[in-house]
């Protein structure tokens, strides 16, 4: 099982590399390559036994007799185990499976020699599991009780420290800096740690350490001198640590060293985070997607202000002592959250940002204007400086003002890279290139469990979209994210991040009000918590030395996974050749774009905002800067002058390139781009007002989102979108419209038993591009039988999202419908269905919580019992999926019968509206993506 998953993840990773770097071509070929590349791998099919997902190490025999300390319900009863399996895989709501209580969750020791013991008081706690229910309850209750704004942030309460807790919990085993500064763990130390805590130190690939060959290879090259050097440079002893000091480790990682295996990096980086001085400026709390509230944070030593160290927990218990029953107390975070929302002091926290319109998602369209793509930095600085003289600025405003002042002095050729990725982590499957360096973590089993991975990515985008909607911020799906959306309203399964664009004006709103804020999802809906981080050279709008292509990131603090956000604006970068046809179309002129430029009589006295606002070296053109650097060699480092030379050469290149703007000066290019509404990000992806505007309101990943007015055009500027909607193949992936899902072909061969290698699996006889309705059931059954449980869960949970997109496509691309009819039907679909779309993935924190319970169950119950429980749950879901598909097939799905708000709420059946892409998906006439449609 494991090997199968890992195999498909490898395929995934190599695919993604290609996808990211190259403009890839989606090939709508028929099934030719099925017979081509045949793997010799053979899958063993589960034979009435449950295959444990993770390797059980500490399966001590006592585990089966001890009463479990993990849940408030009986983990041996079939009913509760059934409920757990069902909830863990198919319930994507924000609901918890049990109730957080003082005794069971907080005071019962989950590891170490005192495992199972219940502490007498919270004063005895030396560590605790991060649980949103505890933190929300205590922090919000504190704010309401004190009616003040003096909450001191601690990473320990808002990020996950499960892995580091295993080291914090140690009483007898000595660990030193060295343990976290070697490329792979020292097995002897690791075993001492594990023996003491009675838990594996980590789950992902833990069994590798038991293979001598692997271990020796992983440890090769760590001589004591080089390790000592790393220790000296990156780690220091912790004075606060003395025997038994709670929440402390004997050493502090002062700076992250990256060339480590993922499991070492995890503990190393978590230690660094725990003791980090850099904390968020504020918390931003979401009330669903409706409103956002601001909690300011007091500056203190974040490593010493968790809710126990700061007494917030003790105060909480004091206030709630009357609710105690037998010394136990329930922490009902949703009830406190609702109290918080209703409380009068909360009104003052509500964010209503002048200039932003919270109703933008109410309509089907959103018109953008050219002014959204320009930003007057000088005016903004002047405004903030004036305010600073008359009143004190908020922390956010102060940080933003300082950032602008620095940025306007930053020459594009000399900008320093702002974001740091964990690129040097020494295992390719950890994908350090796509993880923030500070927050990198392997989670529970992130590298081997696609369900955990997808849950993180889904929570990330859902929280971001709710955040933008609650504040009226404008952004839209772009690049690979938009491409994935096109087919099924989800990202491509092989994509490891999300890409969004915003107009520069809104990037500035984002910076001023949310840079360095920790954005928190409504705890009734999920437990997303993400750091919004905007780069330090926001006023640089050209490519320059190419160090800062990404403007901002929305970062998962428990994995380092992020959304890439780029701002679009008018700049002096030379427009790409592909923009010519849009300008010509737009101008409806016989003339080519270069001819139009020749005719354009620009006034050299026009504003050149890009440079006018700048100071120091940033005022110079690259040619002037080059001259300056050449004549003042002592003022610049070698690296700086070579950056300048590199940027200078790029500028020379423009004159020889194919840009319609070649031969123009930077200022002239700026003026041409401005005149023709051509906008670009710092990675020189160009778009235009008419391609983007009006933005279309739609659903992505089950939440509201905007997409460009002309998505196909926008994508074709970067990729080559095949015209067909239907059966598709794409480098080892197959899209089956019957499931609205991209399967890995390697997996498909197994669960379709296409090579007749699986004696127990019914072979799929129909060609993949010509499935019969009955094949849906057959394939689902096989998927589950072949142990692809996470794929089945994904299919099942994304049904609502993908079926929504299907109906949207059927309406948008039906040539028989007029623009008005389409708009009317799309509005009905959105208003009628959007509220009820189930999240396509689990909340990651709830998922891991349940996953751990399940791993515990795996130790308590035998494999055949578990197999039967899982089968029963999954068979019910297969049945439900097939029934729903049948309704879609017959165009009889209840959720498409919607009220017509324009017509006295008469019911209109959307089933019969639009194309029939589900029933007729084999038709070649489904070439709907040949060009953009008006709707």
Ligand X SMILES: *[C@@H]1O[C@H](CO)[C@@H](O)[C@H](O)[C@H]1NC(C)=O
517-520/282-287 β-pairing:
parallel
**Looking at beta carbons only, is 130 or 516 nearer to ligand X?**
516
Interface residue with ligand X among 178, 191, 300, 334 (CB under 6 A) is 334
Name the one range near ligand X by CB under 6 A: 326-334, 436-444, 562-570, 711-719: 326-334
The nearer residue to ligand X, 65 or 224, going by C-beta atoms, is 65
Other beta carbons within 10 angstroms of residue 908's beta carbon come to 19
Count CA within 13 A, CB hemisphere, residue 214. 12
Among 174, 359, 390, 605, binds ligand X (CB under 6 A): 174
Among 538, 574, 754, 829, binds ligand X (CB under 6 A): 538
- Identify which of residues 377 and 776 has a Cβ nearer to ligand X in the complex: 377
How many other β-carbons are positioned within 10 Å of the β-carbon of residue 925? 10
Is 511 among the residues that bind ligand X (CB under 6 A)?
Answer: yes
In 3-state terms, what secondary structure has residue 489?
coil
> In the complex, what is the shortest distance from the CB of residue 333 to ligand X, in angstroms, rounded to a whole number?
8
Question: What is the rounded CA–CA span in Å between residue 507 and residue 496?
Answer: 23
Our finding on whether 335 is near ligand X (CB under 6 A) is yes
**What is the closest distance, in whole angstroms, from the C-beta atom of residue 346 to ligand X in the complex?**
16
Residue 273 phi/psi, 5-degree rounding, is -65, -45
Give the CA angle between residues 906, 908, 913 to the nearest 5°: 160
What does the alpha-carbon distance between residue 2 and residue 250 come to, in Å, rounded to a whole number? 36
Residue placing its CB nearer to ligand X in the complex, 386 or 864: 864
Report the nearest approach of ligand X to the CB of residue 174 (Å): 4
**How many residues line the site for ligand X (CB under 6 A)?**
21
Q: Which is nearer to ligand X, 30 or 113 (CB)?
A: 113
The correct pick among 864, 875, 925, 931 for binding ligand X (CB under 6 A) is 864
Site for ligand X contains 607 (CB under 6 A)? no
Q: Which is nearer to ligand X, 45 or 865 (CB)?
A: 865
Binder of ligand X out of 865, 882, 884, 899 (CB under 6 A) = 865
The CB-of-399 to ligand X minimum distance in angstroms stands at: 5
Strand stretches in 150-288, DSSP E = 151-152, 235-237, 251-253, 282-287
Dump the DSSP string for 858-902. Answer: HHHS-HHHHHHHHHHHHHHHHHHHHHHHHHHHTT--GGGEEEETT
Our CA angle for 133, 843, 67, nearest 5°, is: 60
Complex with ligand X: residue 534 or 629, whichever CB lies closer: 534
Kindly state the smallest distance separating residue 418's Cβ from ligand X, in Å.
7
**279 versus 465: smaller Cβ distance to ligand X:** 279
Q: Which residues of 807-846 are buried (b: 16+ CB within 10 A; e: fewer)?
A: bbbbbbbbeebeeeebbbbbbbbbebbbeebbbbbbbbbb
Residue 836 binding ligand X, by CB under 6 A: no
> Is 531 or 915 the residue whose CB approaches ligand X more closely?
531
Which of residues 54 and 282 has its CB atom nearest to ligand X in the complex?
282
Write down the least CB distance from residue 201 to ligand X, Å.
18
Interface with ligand X, residue 862, by CB under 6 A: yes
Q: Which of these segments, 18-26, 101-109, 511-519, 790-798, binds ligand X (CB under 6 A)?
A: 511-519
- Window contacting ligand X (CB under 6 A); options: 125-133, 150-158, 818-826, 862-870: 862-870
Give yes or no for residue 513 binding ligand X (CB under 6 A).
Answer: no
Query: Considering only residues 481, 515, 687, 693, which one is a binding residue for ligand X as defined by CB under 6 A?
Result: 515
Name, in order, each residue with C-beta under 8 angstroms of 660's C-beta and a sequence gap of 6 or more: 575, 577, 579, 580, 583, 592, 593, 594, 597
Name the one range near ligand X by CB under 6 A: 329-337, 383-391, 806-814, 838-846: 329-337
CA torsion through residues 703, 707, 711, 715, sign: negative
CA 343 to chain centre: 32
Residue 502 and residue 465 in contact, taking contact as beta carbons nearer than 8 Å: no
In the bound state with ligand X, the residue whose beta carbon lies nearer, of 31 and 330, is: 330
Only one of the segments 139-147, 799-807, 859-867, 913-921 lies at the binding site for ligand X (rule: CB under 6 A); that segment is: 859-867
Check residue 99 for interaction with ligand X (CB under 6 A): yes
In the block, residue with structure tokens 């929300």: 136
CA distances from 271 to 110, 238, 320, 445, 772 (A): 21, 11, 33, 19, 55
Stretch that binds ligand X, among 150-158, 531-539, 621-629, 757-765 (CB under 6 A): 531-539
Shortest distance, position 103 Cβ to ligand X, whole Å: 14
Question: Please, which residue, 403 or 744, has the CB nearer to ligand X?
Answer: 403
Site membership for ligand X, residue 536 (CB under 6 A) = yes
Buried b or exposed e, range 700-722, using 16+ CB within 10 angstroms: bbbbbbbbbbbbbbbbbbbbebb
Interface map 359-398 toward ligand X (x if CB under 6 A): ----------------------------------------
The Cα 125–Cα 127 span in angstroms is 6
Q: Which residues contact 638 (CB under 8 A, 6 or more apart)?
A: none
Q: Which residue number, 57 or 241, has a Cβ lying nearer to ligand X?
A: 241
The pair of structure tokens assigned to 570 is 């008018």
Nearest to ligand X of 539, 921 (CB atom): 539
Residues 6+ apart with CB under 8 A from 157: 130, 135, 139, 306, 307
Q: What are phi and psi of 805, to 5 degrees?
A: -65, -40
Closest separation in Å from C-beta 396 to ligand X: 9
In the bound state with ligand X, the residue whose beta carbon lies nearer, of 323 and 635, is 323
Nearer to ligand X, 172 or 604 (CB): 172
Query: What does the block give as tokens for 718?
Result: 């970067």
Q: Which is nearer to ligand X, 552 or 764 (CB)?
A: 552
Q: Is the Cβ–Cβ distance between 185 and 262 less than 8 Å?
A: no
Site for ligand X contains 44 (CB under 6 A): no
For the bound state, the minimum distance from the C-beta of residue 334 to ligand X, rounded and expressed in Å, comes to 5
Cβ closest to ligand X, residue 24 vs residue 393: 393
687 binds ligand X (CB under 6 A): no
Any contact of residue 332 with ligand X (CB under 6 A)? yes
* Closest by Cα among 666, 710, 480 to 575: 666
CB 739 within 8 A of CB 776: yes
Residue 866: which of 874, 855, 858 has the closest Cα?
858
- And the tokens for 652? 């020379």
Contact region for ligand X (CB under 6 A) — 18-26, 331-339, 684-692, 898-906?
331-339
- Asked if 80 touches ligand X (CB under 6 A), the answer is no
Residue in the block written with tokens 């500064």: 181
Taking CB under 6 A as the criterion, which residues in 392-451 touch ligand X? Answer: 399-400, 403
C-alpha atoms less than 13 angstroms from C-alpha of 387 in its C-beta half-sphere: 12
Output the furthest CA–CA distance in the chain (Å, rounded): 87
Alpha helices by DSSP H, 489-551? 504-514
Binding mask 546-575 for ligand X (x = CB under 6 A): ------------------------------
What is the closest distance, in whole angstroms, from the C-beta atom of residue 330 to ligand X in the complex? 6
Binds ligand X (CB under 6 A): choice among 40, 67, 638, 924: 67
By the rule CB under 6 A, 62 interacts with ligand X = no
SS3 563: strand
Contacts with ligand X by CB under 6 A lie at 67, 99, 172, 174, 330, 332, 334-335, 338, 399-400, 403, 511, 515-516, 534, 536, 538, 862, 864-865
């Amino acid at each position: 099982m494991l090997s199968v998953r890992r195999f498909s993840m490898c395929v995934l990773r190599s695919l993604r590399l290609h996808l990211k770097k190259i403009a890839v071509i989606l090939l709508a070929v028929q099934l030719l390559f099925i017979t081509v590349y045949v793997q010799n791998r053979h899958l063993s099919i589960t034979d009435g036994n449950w295959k444990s997902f993770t390797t059980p190490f500490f399966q001590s025999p006592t585990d089966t007799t001890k009463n479990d300390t993990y849940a408030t319900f009986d983990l041996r009863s079939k009913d509760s185990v059934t409920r757990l399996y069902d909830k863990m895989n198919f319930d994507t709501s924000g609901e918890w499976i049990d109730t957080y209580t003082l005794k069971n969750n907080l005071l019962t020791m989950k590891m170490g020699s005192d495992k199972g013991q219940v502490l007498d008081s919270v004063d005895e706690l030396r560590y605790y599991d991060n649980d949103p229910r505890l933190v929300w309850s205590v922090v919000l209750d504190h704010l309401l009780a004190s009616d003040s704004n003096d909450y001191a942030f601690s990473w320990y309460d808002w990020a996950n420290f499960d892995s580091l807790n295993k080291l914090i919990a140690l009483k007898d085993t000595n660990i030193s800096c060295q343990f976290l500064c070697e490329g792979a763990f020292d097995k002897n130390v690791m075993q001492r740690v594990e023996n003491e805590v009675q838990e594996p130190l980590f789950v992902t690939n833990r069994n590798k350490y038991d293979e001598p060959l692997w271990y020796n290879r992983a440890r090769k090259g760590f001589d004591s001198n080089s390790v000592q050097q790393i220790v000296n440079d990156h780690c220091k002893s912790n004075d606060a640590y003395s025997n038994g000091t709670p929440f402390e480790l004997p050493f502090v990682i002062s700076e992250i060293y990256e060339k480590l295996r993922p499991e070492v990096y995890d503990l190393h980086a978590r230690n660094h985070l725990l003791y980090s001085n850099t904390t968020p400026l504020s918390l931003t709390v979401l009330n669903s997607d409706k409103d956002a509230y601001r909690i300011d944070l007091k500056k203190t030593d974040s490593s010493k202000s968790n809710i126990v160290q700061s007494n917030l927990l003790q105060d909480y218990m004091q206030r709630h002592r009357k609710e105690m029953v037998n010394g136990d107390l329930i922490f009902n975070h949703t009830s406190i959250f609702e109290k918080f929302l209703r409380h009068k002091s909360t009104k003052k926290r509500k964010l209503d940002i002048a200039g932003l319109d919270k109703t933008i998602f109410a309509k089907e369209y959103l018109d953008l204007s050219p002014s959204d793509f320009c930003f007057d930095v000088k005016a903004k600085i002047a405004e903030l400086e004036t305010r600073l003289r008359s009143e004190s600025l908020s922390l956010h405003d102060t940080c933003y003002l300082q950032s602008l002042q620095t940025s306007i002095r930053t020459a594009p050729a000399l900008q320093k890279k702002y974001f740091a990725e964990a690129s040097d982590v020494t295992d390719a499957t950890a994908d350090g290139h796509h993880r923030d360096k500070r927050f990198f973590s392997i989670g529970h089993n992130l590298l081997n469990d696609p369900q955990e991975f997808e849950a993180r990515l889904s929570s990330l985008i859902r929280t971001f979209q709710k955040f933008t909607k609650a504040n009226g911020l404008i952004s839209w799906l772009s690049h690979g994210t938009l491409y994935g959306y096109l087919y099924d309203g989800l990202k491509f399964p092989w994509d490891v991040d999300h890409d969004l664009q915003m107009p520069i004006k809104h990037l500035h709103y984002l910076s001023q009000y949310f840079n360095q804020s920790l954005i928190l999802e409504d705890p009734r809906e999920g437990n997303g918590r993400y750091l919004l981080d905007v780069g330090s050279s926001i006023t640089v709008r050209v490519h320059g030395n190419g160090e800062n292509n990404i403007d901002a990131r929305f970062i998962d603090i428990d994995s380092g996974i992020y959304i890439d956000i780029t701002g679009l604006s008018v700049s002096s970068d030379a427009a790409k050749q592909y923009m010519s046809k849009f300008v010509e179309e737009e101008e409806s002129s016989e003339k080519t774009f270069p001819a139009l430029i020749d005719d354009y009589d620009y006034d050299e006295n026009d504003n050149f905002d890009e440079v006018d606002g700048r100071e120091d070296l940033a005022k110079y053109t690259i040619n002037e800067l080059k001259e300056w650097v050449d004549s003042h060699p002592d003022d610049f480092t070698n690296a700086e002058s070579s950056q300048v030379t590199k940027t200078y050469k790029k500028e020379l290149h423009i004159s020889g390139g194919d840009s319609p703007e070649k031969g123009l000066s930077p200022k002239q290019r700026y003026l041409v781009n401005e005149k023709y509404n051509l906008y670009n990000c710092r990675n020189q992806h160009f778009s235009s007002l008419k391609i983007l505007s009006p933005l279309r309101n739609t659903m992505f990943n089950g939440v509201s989102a905007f997409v460009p007015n002309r998505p196909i055009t926008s994508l074709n500027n970067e990729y080559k979108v095949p015209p067909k909607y239907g059966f598709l193949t794409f480098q080892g992936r197959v899209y089956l419209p019957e499931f609205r899902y991209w399967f890995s072909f390697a997996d498909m061969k197994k669960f379709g038993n296409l090579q007749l290698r699986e004696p127990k699996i019914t072979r799929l006889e129909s060609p993949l591009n010509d499935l019969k309705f009955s094949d849906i059931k057959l394939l689902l059954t096989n998927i589950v039988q072949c142990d692809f449980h996470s794929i089945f869960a994904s299919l099942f949970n994304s049904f609502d999202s993908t079926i929504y997109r299907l109906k949207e496509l059927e309406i948008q691309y039906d040539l028989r419908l007029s623009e008005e009819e389409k708009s009317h039907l799309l509005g009905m679909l959105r208003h009628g269905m959007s509220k009820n779309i189930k999240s396509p993935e689990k909340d990651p924190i709830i998922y891991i919580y349940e996953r751990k319970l399940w791993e515990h169950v795996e130790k308590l119950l035998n494999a055949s019992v578990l197999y039967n429980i899982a089968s029963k749950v999954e068979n019910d879901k297969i049945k439900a999926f097939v029934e729903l598909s049948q309704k879609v097939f017959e165009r009889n799905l209840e959720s498409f019968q919607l009220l017509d708000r324009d017509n006295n709420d008469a019911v209109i059946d959307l089933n019969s509206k639009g194309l029939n892409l589900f029933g007729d998906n084999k038709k070649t006439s489904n070439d709907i993506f040949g060009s953009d449609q008006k709707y």
